[in-house]
Chains A and B, each alone.
Chain A
Amino acid sequence: MRVFKELGKYSSLLYQGLRSSTEFSTYRKNLFQELVKVGYDSVPIIILVGIFTGSVMTLQSAYQLESAFIPLSTIGAIVSQSILIELAAVISGLVLAGKVGARVATELGTMRVSEQIDALESMGFNSVSFLVVPRVLAGILMFPVIYIVASVCGLAGGVAAGYFSGQVPPADFLEGARMYFYPWDVAFGVVKSFVFGFIITSIACYKGYFATGGAEGVGNSTTQATVLGCIYILLADFILAALLL
Protein backbone atom coordinates (compact mmCIF):
# COMPACT_ATOMS: atom_id res chain seq x y z
CA MET A 1 0.00 0.00 0.00
CA ARG A 2 2.80 2.38 0.99
CA VAL A 3 4.59 1.69 -2.30
CA PHE A 4 1.53 2.81 -4.28
CA LYS A 5 1.19 5.92 -2.13
CA GLU A 6 4.85 6.80 -2.73
CA LEU A 7 4.48 6.10 -6.43
CA GLY A 8 1.41 8.35 -6.55
CA LYS A 9 3.24 11.21 -4.82
CA TYR A 10 6.26 10.78 -7.10
CA SER A 11 4.06 10.77 -10.22
CA SER A 12 2.16 13.79 -8.96
CA LEU A 13 5.41 15.70 -8.42
CA LEU A 14 6.55 14.81 -11.95
CA TYR A 15 3.18 15.85 -13.36
CA GLN A 16 3.37 19.18 -11.57
CA GLY A 17 6.89 19.59 -12.92
CA LEU A 18 5.74 18.81 -16.45
CA ARG A 19 2.80 21.20 -16.14
CA SER A 20 4.97 24.00 -14.83
CA SER A 21 7.81 23.42 -17.32
CA THR A 22 6.29 26.18 -19.46
CA GLU A 23 7.16 28.75 -16.76
CA PHE A 24 10.61 29.14 -18.22
CA SER A 25 11.13 32.63 -16.81
CA THR A 26 10.90 31.23 -13.26
CA TYR A 27 13.52 28.53 -13.59
CA ARG A 28 15.78 29.85 -16.36
CA LYS A 29 18.37 31.28 -13.96
CA ASN A 30 18.27 28.18 -11.76
CA LEU A 31 18.66 25.92 -14.79
CA PHE A 32 22.02 27.46 -15.71
CA GLN A 33 23.23 27.16 -12.11
CA GLU A 34 22.17 23.51 -12.02
CA LEU A 35 23.79 22.73 -15.38
CA VAL A 36 27.06 23.91 -13.86
CA LYS A 37 26.56 22.00 -10.61
CA VAL A 38 25.42 18.75 -12.22
CA GLY A 39 27.69 18.85 -15.26
CA TYR A 40 30.78 21.01 -14.89
CA ASP A 41 31.32 20.28 -11.19
CA SER A 42 31.10 16.52 -11.82
CA VAL A 43 33.77 16.51 -14.54
CA PRO A 44 36.83 15.95 -12.25
CA ILE A 45 35.38 12.87 -10.53
CA ILE A 46 34.13 11.51 -13.87
CA ILE A 47 37.57 11.95 -15.46
CA LEU A 48 39.09 10.06 -12.54
CA VAL A 49 36.50 7.28 -12.62
CA GLY A 50 36.74 6.99 -16.43
CA ILE A 51 40.54 6.75 -16.51
CA PHE A 52 40.73 4.17 -13.74
CA THR A 53 37.88 2.07 -15.15
CA GLY A 54 39.54 1.94 -18.58
CA SER A 55 42.98 1.22 -17.07
CA VAL A 56 41.86 -1.59 -14.78
CA MET A 57 39.69 -3.11 -17.51
CA THR A 58 42.69 -3.18 -19.90
CA LEU A 59 45.08 -4.71 -17.36
CA GLN A 60 42.56 -7.36 -16.30
CA SER A 61 41.64 -8.22 -19.90
CA ALA A 62 45.34 -8.53 -20.79
CA TYR A 63 45.83 -10.84 -17.82
CA GLN A 64 42.83 -13.03 -18.72
CA LEU A 65 43.49 -13.19 -22.46
CA GLU A 66 47.21 -13.89 -22.31
CA SER A 67 47.55 -16.35 -25.20
CA ALA A 68 49.57 -16.58 -28.37
CA PHE A 69 46.36 -17.37 -30.29
CA ILE A 70 44.47 -14.23 -29.28
CA PRO A 71 45.54 -11.03 -31.03
CA LEU A 72 46.24 -8.04 -28.76
CA SER A 73 43.68 -5.97 -30.65
CA THR A 74 40.99 -8.13 -29.02
CA ILE A 75 41.74 -6.38 -25.72
CA GLY A 76 41.09 -3.00 -27.31
CA ALA A 77 37.83 -4.32 -28.76
CA ILE A 78 36.63 -5.75 -25.43
CA VAL A 79 37.59 -2.68 -23.39
CA SER A 80 36.11 -0.14 -25.82
CA GLN A 81 32.87 -2.10 -26.26
CA SER A 82 32.46 -2.55 -22.50
CA ILE A 83 33.12 1.11 -21.84
CA LEU A 84 30.81 2.45 -24.56
CA ILE A 85 27.93 0.06 -24.00
CA GLU A 86 28.01 -0.38 -20.23
CA LEU A 87 30.70 0.98 -17.97
CA ALA A 88 30.82 4.68 -18.89
CA ALA A 89 27.09 5.11 -18.38
CA VAL A 90 26.52 2.79 -15.41
CA ILE A 91 29.60 3.60 -13.33
CA SER A 92 29.14 7.34 -13.93
CA GLY A 93 25.49 6.93 -12.99
CA LEU A 94 26.30 5.12 -9.75
CA VAL A 95 28.97 7.65 -8.82
CA LEU A 96 26.65 10.56 -9.59
CA ALA A 97 23.76 8.96 -7.68
CA GLY A 98 26.03 9.59 -4.71
CA LYS A 99 27.38 12.98 -5.73
CA VAL A 100 24.46 14.69 -7.48
CA GLY A 101 21.61 12.70 -5.91
CA ALA A 102 22.82 13.28 -2.37
CA ARG A 103 23.39 16.99 -2.98
CA VAL A 104 19.96 17.54 -4.51
CA ALA A 105 18.12 15.57 -1.80
CA THR A 106 20.01 17.34 0.99
CA GLU A 107 19.46 20.78 -0.53
CA LEU A 108 15.72 20.34 -1.01
CA GLY A 109 15.30 18.44 2.27
CA THR A 110 16.96 21.24 4.22
CA MET A 111 14.82 23.79 2.41
CA ARG A 112 11.71 21.77 3.29
CA VAL A 113 12.41 21.34 7.02
CA SER A 114 13.56 24.95 7.46
CA GLU A 115 10.32 26.18 5.80
CA GLN A 116 12.19 27.71 2.83
CA ILE A 117 9.90 25.84 0.41
CA ASP A 118 6.86 27.14 2.31
CA ALA A 119 8.40 30.61 2.09
CA LEU A 120 8.72 30.27 -1.69
CA GLU A 121 5.11 29.14 -2.02
CA SER A 122 3.97 31.93 0.33
CA MET A 123 5.62 34.52 -1.90
CA GLY A 124 3.66 33.16 -4.86
CA PHE A 125 6.38 31.03 -6.44
CA ASN A 126 5.64 27.66 -7.97
CA SER A 127 8.18 25.76 -5.88
CA VAL A 128 8.16 22.72 -8.20
CA SER A 129 8.96 24.87 -11.20
CA PHE A 130 11.57 26.78 -9.22
CA LEU A 131 13.32 23.86 -7.53
CA VAL A 132 12.47 20.55 -9.21
CA VAL A 133 12.24 21.37 -12.93
CA PRO A 134 15.73 22.93 -13.28
CA ARG A 135 17.38 20.07 -11.38
CA VAL A 136 15.69 17.32 -13.39
CA LEU A 137 16.32 19.14 -16.68
CA ALA A 138 19.97 19.63 -15.75
CA GLY A 139 20.25 15.88 -15.05
CA ILE A 140 18.67 14.96 -18.39
CA LEU A 141 20.80 17.45 -20.34
CA MET A 142 24.15 16.95 -18.63
CA PHE A 143 24.33 13.17 -18.13
CA PRO A 144 24.86 12.44 -21.85
CA VAL A 145 27.75 14.93 -21.80
CA ILE A 146 29.13 13.21 -18.70
CA TYR A 147 28.78 9.85 -20.47
CA ILE A 148 30.85 11.12 -23.39
CA VAL A 149 33.54 12.49 -21.04
CA ALA A 150 33.60 9.17 -19.14
CA SER A 151 33.87 7.20 -22.42
CA VAL A 152 36.73 9.29 -23.79
CA CYS A 153 38.59 9.13 -20.48
CA GLY A 154 37.95 5.39 -20.19
CA LEU A 155 39.39 4.74 -23.63
CA ALA A 156 42.33 7.06 -22.96
CA GLY A 157 42.94 5.27 -19.65
CA GLY A 158 42.83 1.92 -21.43
CA VAL A 159 45.35 3.03 -24.06
CA ALA A 160 47.63 4.52 -21.40
CA ALA A 161 47.48 1.46 -19.12
CA GLY A 162 48.21 -0.86 -22.05
CA TYR A 163 51.18 1.28 -23.15
CA PHE A 164 52.74 1.89 -19.74
CA SER A 165 52.36 -1.74 -18.62
CA GLY A 166 53.89 -2.86 -21.91
CA GLN A 167 51.07 -5.38 -22.42
CA VAL A 168 49.06 -3.74 -25.23
CA PRO A 169 50.65 -1.33 -27.71
CA PRO A 170 48.37 1.67 -28.49
CA ALA A 171 48.21 0.73 -32.17
CA ASP A 172 46.78 -2.72 -31.34
CA PHE A 173 44.38 -1.31 -28.78
CA LEU A 174 43.04 1.30 -31.20
CA GLU A 175 42.85 -1.19 -34.06
CA GLY A 176 40.60 -3.44 -31.96
CA ALA A 177 38.53 -0.50 -30.78
CA ARG A 178 38.01 0.70 -34.37
CA MET A 179 37.27 -2.77 -35.72
CA TYR A 180 34.36 -3.32 -33.32
CA PHE A 181 33.08 0.23 -33.17
CA TYR A 182 29.36 0.56 -33.93
CA PRO A 183 27.72 4.02 -33.73
CA TRP A 184 24.65 2.35 -32.19
CA ASP A 185 26.74 1.50 -29.08
CA VAL A 186 27.32 5.19 -28.47
CA ALA A 187 23.66 6.00 -29.16
CA PHE A 188 22.67 3.30 -26.69
CA GLY A 189 25.02 4.78 -24.07
CA VAL A 190 23.57 8.25 -24.65
CA VAL A 191 20.00 6.93 -24.29
CA LYS A 192 20.98 5.19 -21.06
CA SER A 193 22.59 8.32 -19.66
CA PHE A 194 19.43 10.37 -20.46
CA VAL A 195 17.40 7.85 -18.46
CA PHE A 196 19.94 7.69 -15.60
CA GLY A 197 20.06 11.48 -15.39
CA PHE A 198 16.28 11.58 -15.08
CA ILE A 199 16.19 8.76 -12.51
CA ILE A 200 18.87 10.22 -10.23
CA THR A 201 17.60 13.80 -10.20
CA SER A 202 13.88 13.04 -10.08
CA ILE A 203 14.24 10.56 -7.18
CA ALA A 204 16.52 12.96 -5.31
CA CYS A 205 14.08 15.85 -5.85
CA TYR A 206 11.18 13.70 -4.70
CA LYS A 207 12.94 12.51 -1.55
CA GLY A 208 14.19 16.00 -0.70
CA TYR A 209 10.98 17.85 -1.57
CA PHE A 210 8.90 15.67 0.76
CA ALA A 211 11.50 15.33 3.54
CA THR A 212 10.14 15.55 7.07
CA GLY A 213 11.51 15.48 10.59
CA GLY A 214 14.48 17.81 10.94
CA ALA A 215 18.13 16.87 10.50
CA GLU A 216 17.49 13.14 10.88
CA GLY A 217 14.72 13.32 8.27
CA VAL A 218 17.02 15.08 5.81
CA GLY A 219 19.69 12.42 6.46
CA ASN A 220 17.16 9.66 5.81
CA SER A 221 15.90 11.24 2.61
CA THR A 222 19.48 11.68 1.35
CA THR A 223 20.29 8.03 2.07
CA GLN A 224 17.08 6.86 0.40
CA ALA A 225 17.71 9.09 -2.63
CA THR A 226 21.18 7.60 -3.09
CA VAL A 227 20.20 3.97 -2.51
CA LEU A 228 17.03 4.13 -4.62
CA GLY A 229 18.93 6.01 -7.34
CA CYS A 230 21.49 3.16 -7.52
CA ILE A 231 18.83 0.44 -7.50
CA TYR A 232 16.76 2.05 -10.24
CA ILE A 233 19.85 2.69 -12.37
CA LEU A 234 20.64 -1.03 -12.30
CA LEU A 235 17.02 -1.90 -13.01
CA ALA A 236 16.78 0.59 -15.88
CA ASP A 237 20.10 -0.69 -17.25
CA PHE A 238 18.66 -4.20 -17.43
CA ILE A 239 15.37 -3.09 -19.00
CA LEU A 240 17.11 -0.91 -21.61
CA ALA A 241 19.52 -3.71 -22.50
CA ALA A 242 16.60 -6.11 -22.90
CA LEU A 243 14.65 -3.65 -25.04
CA LEU A 244 17.32 -2.02 -27.17
CA LEU A 245 20.11 -4.55 -27.71
Chain B
Amino acid sequence: MIEIKNLKKSFGDLLVWEGVSFTIEEGDITAIIGRSGCGKSVLLKHINALLTPDEGEIIIDEKNIFDLDYVDKRLLRQKFGVLFQGSALFDSINTFENVAFPLRYFTNQNEEEIHENVMRALRYVNLENAAQQETAELSGGMRKRVGLARAIILEPKYIMYDEPTSGLDPQTADEINGLILDMARQFDVTSIVVTHDMHSVLEVADKVAFLDQQKLSWFGTIDEMKQSNQKDLVNFITASEYQIKQ
Protein backbone atom coordinates (compact mmCIF):
# COMPACT_ATOMS: atom_id res chain seq x y z
CA MET B 1 0.00 0.00 0.00
CA ILE B 2 1.21 3.50 -0.85
CA GLU B 3 -0.12 6.35 1.28
CA ILE B 4 0.43 9.84 -0.06
CA LYS B 5 -0.11 12.41 2.68
CA ASN B 6 -0.46 16.15 2.25
CA LEU B 7 2.22 16.45 -0.41
CA LYS B 8 3.37 19.86 -1.61
CA LYS B 9 5.91 20.61 -4.32
CA SER B 10 7.13 23.77 -5.99
CA PHE B 11 10.01 24.56 -8.32
CA GLY B 12 11.26 27.97 -7.24
CA ASP B 13 8.22 30.26 -7.21
CA LEU B 14 6.14 27.88 -9.28
CA LEU B 15 3.75 25.82 -7.17
CA VAL B 16 3.14 22.43 -8.79
CA TRP B 17 0.52 21.18 -6.31
CA GLU B 18 -0.20 21.13 -2.58
CA GLY B 19 -2.31 19.14 -0.16
CA VAL B 20 -2.19 16.01 -2.31
CA SER B 21 -3.38 13.01 -0.28
CA PHE B 22 -4.65 9.62 -1.44
CA THR B 23 -3.98 5.93 -0.94
CA ILE B 24 -2.98 3.35 -3.56
CA GLU B 25 -4.22 -0.08 -2.47
CA GLU B 26 -2.31 -3.33 -3.05
CA GLY B 27 -3.08 -4.88 -6.43
CA ASP B 28 -5.02 -1.85 -7.69
CA ILE B 29 -4.39 -0.01 -10.93
CA THR B 30 -4.55 3.69 -10.04
CA ALA B 31 -4.56 6.22 -12.85
CA ILE B 32 -3.26 9.72 -12.23
CA ILE B 33 -4.88 12.01 -14.76
CA GLY B 34 -4.83 15.72 -15.51
CA ARG B 35 -3.94 18.26 -18.14
CA SER B 36 -0.42 18.55 -19.56
CA GLY B 37 1.88 20.31 -17.10
CA CYS B 38 -0.29 19.67 -14.02
CA GLY B 39 2.51 17.68 -12.35
CA LYS B 40 1.49 14.07 -12.96
CA SER B 41 5.00 12.88 -13.80
CA VAL B 42 6.39 14.98 -10.94
CA LEU B 43 4.08 13.11 -8.56
CA LEU B 44 5.26 9.81 -10.04
CA LYS B 45 8.89 10.77 -9.40
CA HIS B 46 8.00 11.45 -5.76
CA ILE B 47 6.51 8.00 -5.32
CA ASN B 48 9.88 6.30 -5.88
CA ALA B 49 11.76 9.12 -4.16
CA LEU B 50 13.47 10.48 -7.27
CA LEU B 51 12.20 13.90 -6.16
CA THR B 52 11.69 15.22 -2.63
CA PRO B 53 8.59 17.24 -1.72
CA ASP B 54 8.56 20.58 0.10
CA GLU B 55 6.05 19.15 2.58
CA GLY B 56 4.23 15.89 3.23
CA GLU B 57 5.12 12.24 3.24
CA ILE B 58 4.70 9.05 1.27
CA ILE B 59 4.36 5.88 3.32
CA ILE B 60 5.39 2.66 1.59
CA ASP B 61 5.55 -0.56 3.60
CA GLU B 62 4.98 1.49 6.77
CA LYS B 63 7.98 3.75 6.19
CA ASN B 64 8.08 7.39 5.12
CA ILE B 65 10.29 7.12 2.06
CA PHE B 66 11.67 10.62 2.51
CA ASP B 67 13.14 9.63 5.89
CA LEU B 68 15.16 6.85 4.28
CA ASP B 69 18.87 7.35 3.66
CA TYR B 70 20.22 7.11 0.11
CA VAL B 71 21.07 3.41 0.33
CA ASP B 72 17.59 2.51 1.65
CA LYS B 73 15.98 4.67 -1.03
CA ARG B 74 17.86 2.69 -3.65
CA LEU B 75 16.69 -0.57 -2.08
CA LEU B 76 13.14 0.78 -2.12
CA ARG B 77 13.44 1.70 -5.80
CA GLN B 78 14.29 -1.90 -6.59
CA LYS B 79 10.70 -2.73 -5.59
CA PHE B 80 9.51 -0.51 -8.42
CA GLY B 81 9.47 -1.08 -12.14
CA VAL B 82 9.13 2.12 -14.16
CA LEU B 83 8.07 2.50 -17.76
CA PHE B 84 9.18 5.96 -18.82
CA GLN B 85 7.36 8.19 -21.28
CA GLY B 86 10.16 7.95 -23.84
CA SER B 87 10.99 4.38 -22.69
CA ALA B 88 14.47 5.55 -21.55
CA LEU B 89 16.21 2.59 -23.16
CA PHE B 90 20.01 2.62 -23.07
CA ASP B 91 20.91 3.27 -26.68
CA SER B 92 24.47 1.97 -26.46
CA ILE B 93 23.29 -1.62 -25.93
CA ASN B 94 20.79 -3.84 -27.77
CA THR B 95 17.31 -4.95 -26.73
CA PHE B 96 18.47 -8.10 -24.94
CA GLU B 97 21.10 -6.23 -22.93
CA ASN B 98 18.62 -3.49 -21.99
CA VAL B 99 16.33 -6.07 -20.43
CA ALA B 100 19.23 -8.00 -18.91
CA PHE B 101 20.76 -4.83 -17.43
CA PRO B 102 19.17 -4.96 -13.93
CA LEU B 103 19.78 -8.72 -13.70
CA ARG B 104 23.50 -8.31 -14.33
CA TYR B 105 23.91 -5.82 -11.50
CA PHE B 106 21.34 -6.83 -8.90
CA THR B 107 21.29 -10.63 -9.07
CA ASN B 108 23.85 -13.41 -9.07
CA GLN B 109 22.27 -15.19 -12.01
CA ASN B 110 24.58 -16.91 -14.48
CA GLU B 111 24.43 -16.29 -18.25
CA GLU B 112 22.05 -19.19 -18.84
CA GLU B 113 19.59 -17.97 -16.20
CA ILE B 114 19.82 -14.38 -17.45
CA HIS B 115 19.14 -15.55 -21.01
CA GLU B 116 16.15 -17.59 -19.88
CA ASN B 117 14.64 -14.75 -17.84
CA VAL B 118 15.23 -12.08 -20.49
CA MET B 119 13.69 -14.23 -23.21
CA ARG B 120 10.71 -14.97 -20.97
CA ALA B 121 10.16 -11.23 -20.39
CA LEU B 122 10.56 -10.48 -24.12
CA ARG B 123 8.16 -13.31 -24.96
CA TYR B 124 5.68 -11.82 -22.52
CA VAL B 125 5.72 -8.50 -24.40
CA ASN B 126 5.75 -10.37 -27.71
CA LEU B 127 9.23 -9.25 -28.74
CA GLU B 128 11.36 -12.35 -28.51
CA ASN B 129 12.39 -11.98 -32.16
CA ALA B 130 13.76 -8.49 -31.51
CA ALA B 131 16.24 -9.58 -28.83
CA GLN B 132 19.34 -8.80 -30.88
CA GLN B 133 18.00 -5.61 -32.48
CA GLU B 134 19.60 -2.27 -31.66
CA THR B 135 17.20 -0.04 -29.73
CA ALA B 136 17.56 2.71 -32.36
CA GLU B 137 15.93 0.35 -34.88
CA LEU B 138 12.80 -0.18 -32.75
CA SER B 139 9.47 1.54 -33.36
CA GLY B 140 7.76 3.60 -30.62
CA GLY B 141 5.48 0.72 -29.62
CA MET B 142 8.36 -1.76 -29.56
CA ARG B 143 10.42 0.60 -27.40
CA LYS B 144 7.55 0.83 -24.91
CA ARG B 145 7.31 -2.95 -24.79
CA VAL B 146 11.07 -3.36 -24.29
CA GLY B 147 10.81 -0.73 -21.53
CA LEU B 148 8.04 -2.78 -19.95
CA ALA B 149 10.07 -6.00 -20.22
CA ARG B 150 12.94 -4.22 -18.44
CA ALA B 151 10.56 -2.83 -15.81
CA ILE B 152 9.23 -6.28 -14.90
CA ILE B 153 12.47 -8.26 -15.11
CA LEU B 154 13.17 -8.01 -11.35
CA GLU B 155 9.54 -8.95 -10.58
CA PRO B 156 8.72 -5.65 -8.86
CA LYS B 157 5.95 -5.15 -6.32
CA TYR B 158 4.91 -1.87 -7.92
CA ILE B 159 4.95 -0.76 -11.55
CA MET B 160 4.69 2.87 -12.59
CA TYR B 161 3.75 3.79 -16.14
CA ASP B 162 4.45 7.33 -17.34
CA GLU B 163 2.19 8.07 -20.33
CA PRO B 164 2.39 4.47 -21.56
CA THR B 165 0.21 5.04 -24.64
CA SER B 166 1.33 8.51 -25.70
CA GLY B 167 2.47 8.72 -29.30
CA LEU B 168 1.17 5.25 -30.16
CA ASP B 169 -1.49 4.28 -32.73
CA PRO B 170 -4.79 3.03 -31.20
CA GLN B 171 -4.04 -0.63 -31.88
CA THR B 172 -0.59 -0.53 -30.27
CA ALA B 173 -2.00 1.55 -27.40
CA ASP B 174 -4.59 -1.19 -26.84
CA GLU B 175 -1.83 -3.80 -26.78
CA ILE B 176 0.00 -1.80 -24.09
CA ASN B 177 -3.24 -1.40 -22.11
CA GLY B 178 -3.70 -5.17 -22.36
CA LEU B 179 -0.21 -5.72 -20.98
CA ILE B 180 -0.83 -3.32 -18.07
CA LEU B 181 -4.03 -5.19 -17.16
CA ASP B 182 -2.40 -8.55 -17.61
CA MET B 183 0.57 -7.58 -15.40
CA ALA B 184 -1.70 -6.41 -12.59
CA ARG B 185 -4.10 -9.34 -12.71
CA GLN B 186 -1.64 -12.15 -13.42
CA PHE B 187 1.14 -11.13 -11.03
CA ASP B 188 -0.90 -9.11 -8.51
CA VAL B 189 1.29 -6.06 -9.07
CA THR B 190 0.23 -2.65 -7.77
CA SER B 191 0.17 -0.30 -10.74
CA ILE B 192 0.22 3.47 -11.09
CA VAL B 193 -0.53 4.85 -14.53
CA VAL B 194 0.09 8.50 -15.35
CA THR B 195 -1.86 9.45 -18.44
CA HIS B 196 -4.14 11.97 -20.08
CA ASP B 197 -5.56 9.29 -22.36
CA MET B 198 -9.11 8.70 -21.05
CA HIS B 199 -9.57 5.68 -23.30
CA SER B 200 -6.65 4.06 -21.52
CA VAL B 201 -8.01 5.09 -18.09
CA LEU B 202 -11.42 3.56 -18.79
CA GLU B 203 -9.79 0.39 -20.03
CA VAL B 204 -7.32 -0.31 -17.21
CA ALA B 205 -7.92 1.77 -14.07
CA ASP B 206 -9.58 0.67 -10.83
CA LYS B 207 -9.18 4.10 -9.24
CA VAL B 208 -8.53 7.58 -10.57
CA ALA B 209 -6.70 10.57 -9.07
CA PHE B 210 -7.42 13.81 -10.94
CA LEU B 211 -4.86 16.60 -10.55
CA ASP B 212 -6.11 20.06 -11.43
CA GLN B 213 -5.52 23.64 -10.33
CA GLN B 214 -2.45 22.74 -8.26
CA LYS B 215 -4.27 20.22 -6.07
CA LEU B 216 -5.80 16.75 -6.06
CA SER B 217 -9.14 17.78 -7.46
CA TRP B 218 -10.87 14.40 -7.32
CA PHE B 219 -10.14 10.80 -6.24
CA GLY B 220 -12.36 7.73 -6.50
CA THR B 221 -13.16 4.49 -8.29
CA ILE B 222 -13.76 4.32 -12.03
CA ASP B 223 -17.52 3.82 -11.46
CA GLU B 224 -17.65 6.84 -9.16
CA MET B 225 -15.81 8.85 -11.82
CA LYS B 226 -18.40 7.94 -14.44
CA GLN B 227 -21.16 9.25 -12.18
CA SER B 228 -19.30 12.26 -10.79
CA ASN B 229 -20.71 15.77 -11.27
CA GLN B 230 -17.50 17.52 -10.30
CA LYS B 231 -17.24 20.27 -12.88
CA ASP B 232 -13.49 20.20 -13.64
CA LEU B 233 -13.45 16.41 -13.88
CA VAL B 234 -16.49 16.37 -16.15
CA ASN B 235 -14.91 19.05 -18.36
CA PHE B 236 -11.68 17.06 -18.59
CA ILE B 237 -13.53 13.84 -19.47
CA THR B 238 -15.79 15.58 -21.97
CA ALA B 239 -12.81 17.19 -23.72
CA SER B 240 -11.05 13.81 -23.85
CA GLU B 241 -14.15 12.04 -25.20
CA TYR B 242 -14.50 14.73 -27.85
CA GLN B 243 -10.88 14.14 -28.82
CA ILE B 244 -11.45 10.37 -29.01
CA LYS B 245 -14.51 10.84 -31.23
CA GLN B 246 -12.62 13.29 -33.47
Contact = CB atoms under 8 A, between A and B. Distances in A.
Interface string A118-135: 110111111000000000
Interface residues of A, number: 12
Interface in A79-133: 114-116, 118-119, 121-126
> Nearest 8 pairs between A and B by C-beta?
A119-B88, A124-B78, A115-B88, A122-B82, A124-B77, A124-B74, A115-B84, A116-B88
Contacts of B88: 114-116, 118-119
A121 B77 contact: yes
A119 B82 CA distance: 7
A118 B74 contact: no
Nearest to B162: A115
B106 A124 contact: yes
Interface string B49-88: 0100000000000000000001000110110101011101
Nearest to B82: A122
A119 B84 contact: yes
Contact of B86 (A115, A124, A126): A115
A125 B105 CA distance: 9
A122 B48 contact: yes
Given A123-B77, A124-B74, A124-B75, A118 B84 contact: yes
A167 B204 CA distance: 83
A53 B78 CA distance: 52
Given A26-B105, A118-B45, A118-B50, A125 B74 contact: yes
A118 B91 CA distance: 14
A26 B86 CA distance: 25
A26 B105 CA distance: 7
Given A115-B88, A119-B84, A126-B70, 18 more contacts: A114-B88, A116-B88, A116-B89, A116-B91, A118-B50, A119-B82, A121-B50, A122-B50, A122-B77, A122-B80, A122-B84, A123-B106, A124-B74, A124-B75, A124-B77, A124-B78, A124-B102, A124-B106
A9 to B, nearest CB: 15
19 contacts: A26-B105, A114-B86, A114-B88, A115-B85, A115-B86, A115-B88, A116-B88, A116-B89, A116-B91, A119-B82, A119-B84, A122-B48, A122-B50, A122-B77, A123-B77, A123-B78, A123-B101, A124-B77, A124-B78
Contacts of A124: 74-75, 77-78, 102, 106
Interface string B206-239: 0000000000000000000000000000000000
B22 interface: no
B5 to A, nearest CB: 22
Greatest chain B CB density within 10 A among A114, A119, A121, A122 is at A122
Interface in B117-158: 154
B79 to A, nearest CB: 9
Given A118-B45, A118-B84, A118-B88, A126 B50 contact: no
Nearest to A117: B88
A33 to B, nearest CB: 10
A116 B48 CA distance: 16
A114 B90 CA distance: 9
Nearest to B102: A123
B93 to A, nearest CB: 11
A26 B80 CA distance: 20
A31 to B, nearest CB: 14
Interface in B82-119: 82, 84-86, 88-91, 101-102, 105-106
Contacts of B50: 118, 121-122
A123 B88 CA distance: 12
Contacts of B75: 124
Nearest to A20: B70
A114 B136 CA distance: 13
A127 B225 CA distance: 40
A122 B70 CA distance: 12
B165 to A, nearest CB: 17
A119 B84 CA distance: 8
Contacts of A123: 77-78, 82, 101-102, 106, 154
Contacts of A125: 74, 105
B74 A116 contact: no
Contacts of A116: 88-91
